A and B are shown apart, each in its own frame.
Chain A
Amino acid sequence: MSGKKFGGFLERTIFGTASLLREAVSVELVAARNGFLQRRDPRLKSLAAVLLLASVLMTKSSVVLSTLYAVILCLVVASEIGVFFFLGRTLFFVPIFSLFIVVPAIFDIVTPGEPIFSFTLFKVSLSITRQGLDSAAIFLLRVLDSVSIAVLLVLTTRQHVLLKTLRVFRVPQLFVMTMGMSYRYIFLFLDIIRNVFVAIRSRVGFISSTKEGRKIVTSTMAGLWLRSYRMQSQVYDAMLSRGYCGEAHTLDEFHARPLDLIIFFLALCALAGTLWFNRFFH
């Protein structure tokens, strides 16, 4: 790593932590809006999302997947989320997850079938098959729907609430609480990291030696580890002081309304319908 690159590393770390904080705040702001999905009970909403994900994975019909995607986009609008903001987040991941699988799948060597287009590449004869294109389209739609459901759930549920819904899936209370505390302190440590690197930049500015750069990074890591170690003991004291004695009790403020139950029932119907509909596909 050259000195110049290390200087860039400082800038990138400062910029990266700042943008991560900004990102977290912007997601929280979306989740705090009074949209349709934001008002839903997070437990039933999470369960409904899991059921829909199961439907997406099981369905063999591109029509069902396309219809579901249209419903997701309607929910995006009803939840006061900008459509382009949402598409920017979801469409970015689809090629990453699917490209390497989809491209070989359209050729006859992976999916034999009725050839649509044939050509020769490096003396190897290849054909794109109709069956290959069909399965690629279904796969792409599955990825698109799955990513969209997951992103929609994250965007419409505040992060700490989302963690608490893990209790619905029988995750132990202590684990959920520890995750919540970790989530809370990540931001504190991000702030500390940013301040440390700003302080380094203000004192030493440009770092010319790679060795010196490594020394600064490792000492920063060690310093942060020591701080977190000291802090965990103090936080434990603060918990003890307020009555914690090994088994944590947390606030449970979930309220399910009839509409929440209806949405959960619809998701259940979607899964049952998918299983029934699959009987007609071979």
Chain B
Amino acid sequence: MRARGNVMVQPIFSLRNVSYSYPGGIPALRDVSLDVPAGTRAAFIGANGTGKSTLLTLLDALIFADAGTVAAFGNELSDKSMCNPTIQREFRSRVGFVFQNPEIQLFCPTVQEDVAFGPLQFGVPQDEIRRRLDAAAARMRISHLLDRSPHQLSLGEKKKASIASVLVMEPEVLLLDEPTAGLDPQTSRDIIDVIEESHKAGKTVIMATHDLHIVEEIADVVHVFGAEKSIIRSGTAEEILTDGEFLQAHNLVHVHVHRHLGLKHTHPHDHVHNHAHPHTHDRQRDISSFR
């Protein structure tokens, strides 16, 4: 719990020494402890296979910890507690999860049915569903795609439809797994804007991402996952992103090699907002570039 003024704020998620293994005993998470206060923006970053997506799946109570405890809104998340329809309904209406693969998120024959699926399960009246559906579709700029089948959409459109299908539930918490992976710059920008708006509207946003360019803009707290499948460092976006050596040591950045007018040069990849990186020119003139 953290203090806000004189009031103790209950964290939305509280994890203590959480471990999880895939069937066959393959470890996916080891001894993870963290608190996510309400209204914060948290980002999980780390190389592939370090457990970020597994943690999001745990937070959405789709899998349960082998060891340790996961609590949400003050209640422990367990297989047993989620068997209670009332608790499950309450939890699902408060937490929305955008899966990394939109092909999984969009399982209905049309985009419209997919977007409306969540509120329909919660028994929201048809008129209210229509209002929310129109609002979410307009916000994600997919109103013209509502009658289409998901297989007729581009990746960016599918991603937007996936996010709309969660926004329409009006959850308190947004879990996003790689929300901008593989998208063009404009679609990425649209999604970042939506995340920003959701946060301003008071939602808690938790995401896993490889895209360090967006982390500073959309995360207050960054948790870095290491190869040992646990959190190896937590801090503000600026603290983490300015530590180039740390990022490089954990496969989060690489030495950048590129050309400017035939001059090949290298520099470390820097993700701070001013993009002021030192350039180390090797002075090798690339004659072929002038041909």
Binary CB contact string for chain B from 132 to 149 against chain A (1 if under 8 A, 0 otherwise): 000000000000000101
Q: Does B112 contact A (CB under 8 A)?
A: yes
Binary CB contact string for chain B from 72 to 114 against chain A (1 if under 8 A, 0 otherwise): 0000000000000100110011001101010111111110110
Verify B151–A188 contact, CB threshold 8 A.
yes
Binary CB contact string for chain A from 121 to 141 against chain B (1 if under 8 A, 0 otherwise): 000000000000000000000
User: What are 11 A-B residue pairs whose CB atoms fall within 8 Å in the complex?
Assistant: A158-B147, A160-B113, A180-B109, A183-B109, A184-B149, A187-B149, A234-B101, A238-B104, A240-B92, A245-B88, A250-B113
Q: Which residues of B contact A (CB under 8 A)?
A: 57, 60, 62, 85, 88-89, 92-93, 96-97, 99, 101, 103-110, 112-113, 116-118, 120-123, 126, 129, 147, 149-152, 165-166, 169
Verify B108–A242 contact, CB threshold 8 A.
no
Q: Which residues of A contact B113 (CB under 8 A)?
A: 160, 180, 250-251
Q: Does A172 contact B (CB under 8 A)?
A: no
Expressed in whole angstroms, the minimum distance between the Cβ of B151 and any Cβ of chain A is: 4
8 tightest A-B contacts by CB?
A160-B109, A243-B121, A187-B151, A242-B118, A249-B120, A180-B109, A234-B104, A243-B92
Within the assembled complex, what's the spacing in Å between the Cα atoms of A123 and B113?
67
Verify B165–A242 contact, CB threshold 8 A.
yes
Q: Does A191 contact B (CB under 8 A)?
A: yes
Verify A163–B109 contact, CB threshold 8 A.
yes
Q: Assuming the A-B contacts A184-B109, A243-B93, are A160 and B149 also in contact, with contact meaning beta carbons closer than 8 angstroms in the complex? A: yes
User: Closest chain A residue to B120 by CB distance?
Assistant: A249
Apart from A245-B88, A252-B126, what 17 extra A-B contacts exist at CB < 8 Å?
A: A28-B149, A180-B113, A184-B106, A184-B149, A185-B107, A234-B104, A235-B104, A235-B107, A237-B104, A241-B62, A241-B99, A242-B92, A242-B117, A242-B165, A242-B166, A243-B121, A248-B121
Expressed in whole angstroms, the minimum distance between the Cβ of B76 and any Cβ of chain A is: 18
Verify A231–B85 contact, CB threshold 8 A.
no
Verify B120–A241 contact, CB threshold 8 A.
no
Q: Assuming the A-B contacts A231-B104, A251-B116, are A245 and B109 also in contact, with contact meaning beta carbons closer than 8 angstroms in the complex? A: no
Within the assembled complex, what's the spacing in Å between the Cα atoms of A86 and B165?
38
Q: Which residues of A contact B120 (CB under 8 A)?
A: 249-251
Q: Does A110 contact B (CB under 8 A)?
A: no
Verify B149–A237 contact, CB threshold 8 A.
no
Within the assembled complex, what's the spacing in Å between the Cα atoms of A185 and B60?
24
Verify B108–A241 contact, CB threshold 8 A.
no
Q: Which residues of A contact B60 (CB under 8 A)?
A: 241
Name A159's contact: one of B62, B109, B150 (CB within 8 Å).
Answer: B109
Q: Which residues of A contact B165 (CB under 8 A)?
A: 242
Q: Does A199 contact B (CB under 8 A)?
A: no
Expressed in whole angstroms, the minimum distance between the Cβ of B48 and any Cβ of chain A is: 18
Verify B89–A245 contact, CB threshold 8 A.
yes
Q: Which residues of B contact A231 (CB under 8 A)?
A: 103-104
Expressed in whole angstroms, the minimum distance between the Cβ of B41 and any Cβ of chain A is: 20
Q: Does A36 contact B (CB under 8 A)?
A: no
Verify A245–B62 contact, CB threshold 8 A.
no
Verify A243–B107 contact, CB threshold 8 A.
no
Name A160's contact: one of B110, B122, B129 (CB within 8 Å).
Answer: B110
Expressed in whole angstroms, the minimum distance between the Cβ of A28 and any Cβ of chain B is: 7
Within the assembled complex, what's the spacing in Å between the Cα atoms of A22 and B176?
34
Q: Which residues of B contact A252 (CB under 8 A)?
A: 126
Within the assembled complex, what's the spacing in Å between the Cα atoms of A187 and B126?
30
Q: Which residues of A contact B123 (CB under 8 A)?
A: 249
User: Closest chain A residue to B122 by CB distance?
Assistant: A243
Expressed in whole angstroms, the minimum distance between the Cβ of B1 and any Cβ of chain A is: 27
Verify A243–B118 contact, CB threshold 8 A.
yes
Within the assembled complex, what's the spacing in Å between the Cα atoms of A241 and B96?
7
Verify B62–A240 contact, CB threshold 8 A.
yes
Q: Which residues of B contact A234 (CB under 8 A)?
A: 99, 101, 104
User: Closest chain B residue to A248 by CB distance?
Assistant: B121
Verify B150–A251 contact, CB threshold 8 A.
no
Q: Which residues of A contact B108 (CB under 8 A)?
A: 180-181, 184, 250
Q: Which residues of A contact B151 (CB under 8 A)?
A: 184, 187-188, 191
Within the assembled complex, what's the spacing in Å between the Cα atoms of A234 and B103?
10
Verify A244–B149 contact, CB threshold 8 A.
no
Q: Which residues of A contact B107 (CB under 8 A)?
A: 181, 184-185, 235, 238-239
Expressed in whole angstroms, the minimum distance between the Cβ of A72 and any Cβ of chain B is: 27
Q: Does A217 contact B (CB under 8 A)?
A: no
Q: Which residues of B contact A28 (CB under 8 A)?
A: 149
Within the assembled complex, what's the spacing in Å between the Cα atoms of A185 and B89?
27
Within the assembled complex, what's the spacing in Å between the Cα atoms of A25 and B105?
22
Expressed in whole angstroms, the minimum distance between the Cβ of A111 and any Cβ of chain B is: 47
Q: Which residues of A contact B57 (CB under 8 A)?
A: 237
Q: Which residues of B contact A240 (CB under 8 A)?
A: 62, 92
Q: Which of B97, B117, B122 has the most CB of A within 10 A?
A: B117
Within the assembled complex, what's the spacing in Å between the Cα atoms of A191 and B89?
35
Verify B103–A32 contact, CB threshold 8 A.
no
Q: Which residues of B contact A159 (CB under 8 A)?
A: 109
Q: Which residues of B contact A187 (CB under 8 A)?
A: 149, 151
User: Closest chain A residue to B105 by CB distance?
Assistant: A238
